[in-house]
Amino acid sequence: MILKRIQSWLINEVVPPVVLFAIVVAIWQWCVVAYRLKPYLLPSPLAVGQAIYNDASLLGRAVVYTGSAALCGFFASLVIGTLIAFVFAQSRRIRSSGYPYFIFLQTVPIVAIAPLIVRWCGNGFQSVVLVAFILSLFPILANGTQGLLEIDPNLLDLFRMNNASRWQTLIKLRFPSAVPGLLAGARTSSGLAVVGAIVGEFFVGYGSKRFGLGYLINTTNDQLQIDRLFAAVLTSTLFGIAIFGLVNLISVTILRRWYDGPVEDQK
């Protein structure tokens, strides 16, 4: 049963994007050869592959640092986002007074905030986590608040009829109802946390010997080694996809076990 599941997953979810990737790479290689593009403009896929192979251990170490910062930022936004969502769900007035500031956090360009963060919190891991947190907070907050507010009114009445306390309603009704919304927010947030960690690293350093993917992207760009730059960017993308896939997997598992499953299953 599980084997068939994996087989169908591979054919439907894995093979198509891989085939598309192979086609894109082939076109890319053809363009480089046919138009005789020089490496400083666009490296060939072979050159990028070579760079990945050469930099493998460097990229691996960078992924560890960036990944840790991203995951810390993501968990922080999960916890804090959920807490704030609960507070927001309590009263309309609190929502209307607080929401605009979080929207502000979402829209202000991070390249403007990051230098300020460095000045106030210094260089180091904590500042990168802070940038990742700021970038990934909003989706969880927005989706969590919405999930908490959209409760089936009949269930609310049921709880009220049974004299449930505010706390009981919160834990046994509101929170479970909010989980699908939180998971939807978490899927978006996970990708944003990775972006936040990388962008944070453009401005913040970890210290002399440690460096993340953002640092590699910046330095290979400064050193005009475009093939290594592509390698770093590709690694960042793949890492982001991996995190997204992992969060998605957890989300689908939770939804299948305790709920009616994700929306695609329900149709």
Site residues (CB under 8 A) for another protein?
A: 38-41, 115, 118-119, 123, 202-205, 207-209, 215, 218-226
Closest distance to another protein from the beta carbon of 196 (Å): 17
Let me know the angle formed at the C-alpha of 132 by 130 and 137, rounded to the nearest 5 degrees: 95
Closest distance to another protein from the beta carbon of 223 (Å): 6
- Smaller CB separation from another protein, 90 or 223: 223
Say which amino acid occupies 10: L
- Smaller CB separation from another protein, 68 or 123: 123
Contact between 210 and 219 (Cβ < 8 Å): no
CA 98, CA 45: separation in Å to the nearest integer? 48
Closest distance to another protein from the beta carbon of 110 (Å): 15
Contact between 124 and 204 (Cβ < 8 Å): yes
Alpha helices, DSSP H only, in 166-224?
Answer: 166-168, 175-203, 213-222
Contact between 127 and 200 (Cβ < 8 Å): yes
Closest distance to another protein from the beta carbon of 231 (Å): 15
Closest distance to another protein from the beta carbon of 36 (Å): 10
Integer CA distances (angstroms), 247 to 10, 38, 101, 185, in order: 18, 40, 27, 11
Q: Which two tokens stand for residue 147?
A: 């999930």
- Smaller CB separation from another protein, 40 or 101: 40
- Smaller CB separation from another protein, 98 or 205: 205
- Smaller CB separation from another protein, 106 or 123: 123
